[in-house]
Amino acid sequence: MTAAIGGRRRQRSTRQGGLVRDQLAAADGFRSAQSVFSDLRARGEVIGLSTVYRHLQALADDGEADTLQTAEGEALYRLCGQTSHHHHHLVCRICGRTEEIEGRGVEQWAAQMAEQHGFTDVGHTIELLGICGACTADGTKS
């Protein structure tokens, strides 16, 4: 397998693929598939919902995008592959602003817990949801 040759992609590069990627790149925070789709359509682009889902998943599979799920079960995507190292997110639950944070300590804690309980092959889901400074200021008066 000539697998990991540079940026070689196994699939053809298409206009739609670029659109989805661009749309993600343009956003600061996480975007839902549905919102990416409707935004693209709103901009007059011609693209199908299926295609958006397809590319979003492809990006996630390639590790170029991170995903997380809202409490309502909606999947959110974000381009993060640039920083190739493992990291987590601190997301504003109001404006959606997302900060990337490191979790050295957490990784260790997770590994330790796993070992302590005899678990192997342990992965973790860690997301922090809060309200960012700007939004806190806004909401103060309410």
**Burial track 36-71 (b if 16+ CB lie within 10 A, e otherwise):** bbeebeeeeeebeeebbbbbbebbbeeebbbebeee
> Which position among 23, 24, 30, 47 is part of the footprint of DNA (CB under 7 A)?
47
**Stretches 22-30, 43-51, 88-96, 127-135: which one binds DNA (CB under 7 A)?**
43-51
Out of DNA, a second copy, none, what residue 15 binds, judged by CB under 5 to 8 A for its kind, is DNA
Residues near DNA (CB under 7 A), total = 25
- Check if the beta carbon of residue 127 is closer than 8 Å to that of residue 92: no
Nearer to DNA, 72 or 121 (CB): 72
Q: Which does 47 bind (CB under 5 to 8 A by kind): a second copy, DNA, none?
A: DNA
Backbone angles phi, psi at 89, to 5 degrees: -130, 150
CB count within 10 Å of CB 7 equals 4
Binder of residue 101, out of DNA, a second copy, none (CB less than 5 to 8 A by kind): a second copy
